[in-house]
Amino acid sequence: MLVNHEQYRTIWPNFEHAQPCVEIIDQTKLPHVFEVASLTTLAQMIVAIKTMQVRGAPLIGAAAAYGIALSTLDSCADRHLQQSAEQLIASRPTAVNLRWAVQRMLSALLRLPDAQRQSAAWAEAALICDEDVQLNQAIGKHGLTLIHAQHQQKARTINILTHCNAGWLATVDFGTALAPIYAAHNAGIHVHVWVGETRPRNQGASLTAWELGQHGVPHTVISDNAGGHLMQQGQVDMVIVGADRVTAAGDVCNKIGTYLKALAAFDSVALGHHVPFYAAVPSPTIDWNIEDGVKSIEIEERDAEELSWMSGKLSDGTIASVNILPHGTQVANPAFDVTPARLVTGIITERGVFTPQQLRTMQR
Ligand SMILES: CSC[C@H]1O[C@H](OP(=O)(O)O)[C@H](O)[C@@H]1O
């Protein structure tokens, strides 16, 4: 069954039952199983965010917004909504979109009489989702100009390296880092994507490879450590990644391993072929309140089991997990890192492509 973003979003409300619910694509089951999960309570939405059934900065923002809407099914009292907001914000600390969406929901609801809050919550969450789709389509348009320029100059397939998953699965639809790639592919520009597998959760191998395959975009999965080598060999024309938080100075916080790819891209200048490094970022991912990402962004530390266990499909088609570490081995599992602005060529936003130094002009 082909599934692509013309048919699905990653999250949507369902009002067909007595009690409204929120339906999501359960991303922990991909690439081997496509399964939709129905969430009926705030607690279920918090579990979905924490366990990464839904993940990706813009999508967890949208999910948190619907978490507030689910919360109104129990109560619309100020204190109840504020406690729900605190629980959602605590579920994953790094992506600023989650806090941004929850604060936007509270701002929209707390000014209303209780009786109007439930319908307003579902409407505001839907608006956040629709806006995300529009932002990502604009990112695709602006990112396309970068790929088109390379294609005009080189008159061959353009090889793009990406990390983790910043496709339509990481957003409500269309994606951020993959949006320009889809736009180029749909415009007939030949692109090929090097897909970093992205240990330990393998969002690249399991999600980006699945997305690109469903859309018919040529791609090759590589180990995380192969990216620098491919850049050194002149096999990468540009790097485009997503982000979980970008500072006002243009520091880019993204999935662990991004910083190493940015370092390799930066070093490529010395080899005579510059590999530009771009982050594709909708404005709700920009945290205008901080400058230094290394000092100011809380990096989520995730469970050791994510490193010590791997899941996959056995030869008989069943899904199983295996332990890959010696018993008792100590594990550290930081989920994100920060690429300093000095390593960032440009930030692709819905308003255009900005250098880190130009980013503040977006606020005007
Ligand atoms: C378009 S944001 C995608 C961003 O979010 C991912 O994090 P996670 O999968 O842990 O939610 C990763 O950092 C992606 O680059």
Name the binding residues for substrate.
Answer: 55-57, 92, 203, 254-255
Pocket of ligand 1 (CB under 6 A): 55-58, 164, 166, 170-171, 176, 203, 241-242, 244, 254-255, 335
Q: Where in the chain is the domain with CATH 3.40.50.10470?
A: 139-363
Handedness of CA 216, 32, 34, 321 (dihedral sign): negative
> Is-contact 50 76, C-beta < 8 A?
no
- The long-range contacts involving 198-201, CB below 8 angstroms and separated by at least 24 positions, are 198/163, 198/164, 198/165, 198/224, 198/255, 198/257, 199/224, 199/257, 199/307, 200/306, 200/307, 200/333, 201/52, 201/306
> Residue 31, preceding bond cis, omega within 30 degrees?
yes
Q: How far is the CA of 55 from the centre of ligand 1 (A)?
A: 6
Q: Which residues contact 149 (CB under 8 A, 6 or more apart)?
A: none
Distance 297 CA to ligand 1 centre (A): 15
Q: Is pLDDT above 80 for 1?
A: no
115-173 pLDDT per residue, tens: 999 999 999 999 999 999 999 999 999 999 999 999 999 999 999 999 999 999 999 99
Q: Which one from 244, 251, 287, 337 is the annotated catalytic residue?
A: 244
The complex's ipTM works out to 0.98
CA distance 67 to 87: 10
Whether 7 has a pLDDT exceeding 80, the answer reads no
Pocket test for ligand 1, best of 11, 51, 164 (most atoms within 8 A of CB): 164
Q: Which among 51, 163, 169, 255 is the best mutation to test ligand 1's pocket, defined by most ligand atoms within 8 Å of the CB?
A: 255
pLDDT at 83 over 70: yes
The CA distance from 230 to 364, in Å, is: 39
Going from the Cα of 245 to the center of ligand 1, the distance in angstroms, rounded, reads 10
What is the per-residue pLDDT across 291-306, written as a single tens digit (0 to 9) for each?
999 999 999 999 999 9
Residue 157 pLDDT: 98
- Residue limits of CATH 1.20.120.420 in the chain: 2-131
Tell me what the mean pLDDT of segment 83-90 comes to: 98
Q: What is the CATH number of domain 139-363?
A: 3.40.50.10470
Average pLDDT in the chain: 97
What dotted CATH number matches 2-131? 1.20.120.420
pLDDT at 271: 84
In one-letter notation, the amino acid at residue 103 is Q
Give the Å distances, CA to CA, from 294 to 71, 247, 251, 281, 350.
34, 10, 8, 18, 25
d(CA 197, CA 10): 21
Three-state SS for the chain is CCCCCCCCCCEEEECCCCCCEEEEECCCCCCCCCCEEEECCHHHHHHHHHCCCCCCHHHHHHHHHHHHHHHCCCCCCHHHHHHHHHHHHHHCCCCHHHHHHHHHHHHHHCCCCHHHHHHHHHHHHHHHHHHHHHHHHHHHHHHHHHHHHHHHHHCCCEEEEEECCCCHHHCCCCCCCCHHHHHHHHCCCCEEEEEECCCCCCHHHHHHHHHHHHHCCCEEEECHHHHHHHHHCCCCCEEEECCCEEECCCCEEEECCHHHHHHHHHHHHHHCCCCCEEEECCHHHEECCCCCHHHHCCCCECCCHHHHEEEEECCCCCEEEEECCCCCCCCCCECEEEECHHHCCEEEECCEEECHHHHHHHHC
